[in-house]
Structure 1
């Protein structure tokens, strides 16, 4: 029979038509006969492997496919052929191939348990990271010369100076929206002049610093996570530890100080731009002169409204910087982790800022700054 795979259609003693395979049915020589058997339209009642001299996994799979084609069985297979056929599937292909799946209640319980344990590990990691930051500040207090002033100036530029245009434009437009919508509602009561109070108090107390925090979280918090995460992935942070440089002192602390300091200035800047936007729309729609609007702001807005915004700003900046740096330090495994951790940093920072803003609102109301 040689070394080539062959086949014949024969009628056996029972009067059944049999597709008889012969020779070696191996990966190396099946290409010679594959196209012929695929085009075979004849009907047969069984696939006979009695004359097959050698067979491998591909040959067994090929025999199974020929049997499935006419929904017949494989006969006269050797012990090796039977093992391979059992491994690649039965001759009829009726066995369902499904991944094992636990009952719904068990899956839900397992998922909830995993999330709870992960939350516990997350709290442990956050506490550990906070401890590293505090130790880094203590070390710099003992050795001030180790502080990286150039890194701080660079982060101040990236967090604050470079974000002035987008935050200024956003705040200006928010002031316009507040003044326009507030004036429309107040006109029903003949109290358009109270638009000054509305714009001044809501921007200085809430929206100025809150919208700035959201913008900084999306812009700088994500950058912190991506930069540190990439350095962690490329083992630059491990290299820093090897040569005796503390990553927390070199990477985390300058970013925290820059974000805390610049959030105060950016929050105040955003409030001023919102007030200017309200003054512009008031001049155009309400016949309140621009400078009169600004003078009225000083009269109707209490000083503590300004302090409320200035107190909240550094807290929000601290949350944003810690979230971004923490998520960046947690990156490991592959580059996909960088994107996931960056997303987590932004979401966690914005969520925490909004929750803290609600607590601040209640607190300042209780102390008489409402």
Structure 2
């Protein structure tokens, strides 16, 4: 829970703490939270500038860079990486953690460009019609060398600097690998061609489960340090939910099972205090209800009435939950492993 200046002023007004204690407490929280990402103008400038720089060397690359040739691309990438590491070290010495993490992340994001240039330089690039600007928009097996190299670089720099934002390119790279590895299998065996979409959806779903479990493991291991699991949770849930939603079935039982899985995601998000589960779970529930309204109960006047009753019932459950939340959560935590209890305690303070 974030403590605002207004909250401290109310505590002073109610004689809970003195005015001097309120000032000291506010200054303490300000110092504690200055390196934690938040929606402040300073942090917005940090991330806006960092994402512009990262986007310039990734998403917004144009064909003009191809004229430098493989050797030129490698040289420019190494030059940029040197500047990025220099800035990261400089910011770290000044205890500017967020800018240091952004600069270190910028270096990791340069890795696929450098590997692409290196392959072109040595004449190992397999396709003349594939260029680097397609890396983030096309699913191809030939990106795997770039992705594996980025994964190694990302893990190395994350181990060196230990900034949570460095997990972002690692999570994205793992997601890309899951998609491009499928294309490698499909391209090698023509028998898969008729099942490409379904097969890719299943791989995405199972890979999302693995990444989410990895995020949970990282979350427990780093529960006393920083939030290293955020980006893994984000892309794990996206991969799982995207693969699950892409499954095609004419069975109403399967669709209802899909609805139940999304309800579980909402509950899991509330338990782990992870909004990404709640958001995608709620979207899935809305999709299922939309299916019922447009297909199953299309001509029934009772469905909107029943749905309204269900909605009001959910609101009532929320009121009941608010009154009994402390009691229920305490009883529920007792059956959980001690490590999970410590993780939840840290998030719910």
Length-normalised TM-score, structure 1: 0.27
Length-normalised TM-score, structure 2: 0.28
Q: Which protein has the bigger helix share?
A: 2
